[in-house]
């Protein structure tokens, strides 16, 4: 795991809850509330526990200012129910252009898809090949960091459903799915803070065995302990983050 020098020193999270189920489905509403609670952890202390182990080229560490500034509901599926990255960019771009979300170069824009929405990137399919991703693009004249995250509770999204707690039943374990959704949101947010330009950029990445990874990828589906990553400028602790709040 090495740093090529770039991190975000403050991060304002803007979440677009895409789809009607975020307000209509009580399981999804629970997931939304949990994710917002985690992003707004008191004084950012939970975020600082993990993110302060990362630093930029000058040695300046990531501070704790990761917070949810505001969220937006797109209940009408403005770009349809089968998304691509281009359509995901459009969702973010439209939210900024309309003034519903601010244009913020310290922003992290999270597009959270409800259970009725699918997405694909080339041959890779959401819920089969990935549960979320982060990257950046020039939108509305600034460099926008954004992520797409699945809710995970859809009928064909088994790979994205399980969180910290031992699951019971995919169809009924709303809390387990909420837990995993919140974890996925923080996964992508933390990766943007530590690697703002996405894979291939100038932040913290590991080239591993043929697969480039970002910090949270080391902790995918692992809960309970710090995970120590050797290499680069020393050791870096990173773990899935919500244990402290939920245990
Ligand atoms: Zn990741």
d(CA 112, CA 14): 10
Span 5-25, mean pLDDT?
92
The secondary structure element, H or E, covering residue 85 is helix 85-97
Interval between CA 31 and ligand 1 midpoint (Å): 19
94 C-alpha to center of ligand 1: Å? Answer: 25
pTM higher than 0.75, yes or no? yes
| Residue 51 DSSP label | H
Residue owning tokens 């809850």: 17
The rounded Å distance from CA 135 to ligand 1 centre is: 11
11 three-state secondary structure: strand
Tens digits of per-residue pLDDT, 18-27?
Answer: 999 999 999 8
Any idea where the domains of the chain sit in the sequence? 2-246
Q: State pLDDT tens for residues 184-219.
A: 898 899 889 989 988 888 888 876 555 568 877 777
Taking the centre of ligand 1 as the mean of its atom positions, its distance from the CA of residue 69, in whole angstroms, is 22
């Amino acid at each position: 795991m090495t740093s090529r020098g770039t991190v975000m020193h403050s991060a304002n999270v803007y979440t677009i809850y895409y789809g009607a189920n975020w307000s209509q489905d009580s399981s999804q509403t629970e997931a939304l509330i949990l994710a917002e609670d985690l992003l707004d952890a008191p004084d950012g202390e939970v975020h600082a526990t993990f993110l302060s182990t990362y630093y930029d080229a000058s040695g300046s560490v990531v501070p704790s200012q990761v917070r949810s500034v505001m969220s937006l509901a797109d209940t009408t599926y403005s770009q349809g129910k089968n998304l691509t990255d281009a359509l995901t960019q459009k969702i973010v771009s439209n939210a900024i252009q309309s003034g519903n979300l601010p244009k913020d170069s310290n922003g992290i824009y999270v597009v959270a898809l409800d259970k009725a929405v699918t997405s694909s990137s080339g041959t890779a399919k959401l819920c089969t090949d990935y549960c979320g991703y982060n990257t950046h693009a020039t939108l509305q004249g600034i460099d926008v960091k954004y992520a797409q995250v699945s809710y995970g509770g859809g009928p064909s999204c088994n790979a994205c459903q399980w969180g910290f707690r031992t699951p019971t039943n995919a169809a009924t374990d709303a809390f387990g799915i909420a837990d995993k959704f919140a974890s996925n949101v923080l996964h992508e947010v933390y990766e943007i803070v530590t690697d703002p330009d996405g894979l291939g950029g100038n932040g913290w990445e590991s080239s591993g065995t043929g697969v480039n990874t970002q910090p949270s990828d080391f902790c995918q589906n692992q809960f309970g302990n710090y995970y120590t990553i050797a290499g680069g400028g020393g050791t870096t602790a990173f773990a899935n983050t919500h244990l402290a709040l939920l245990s």
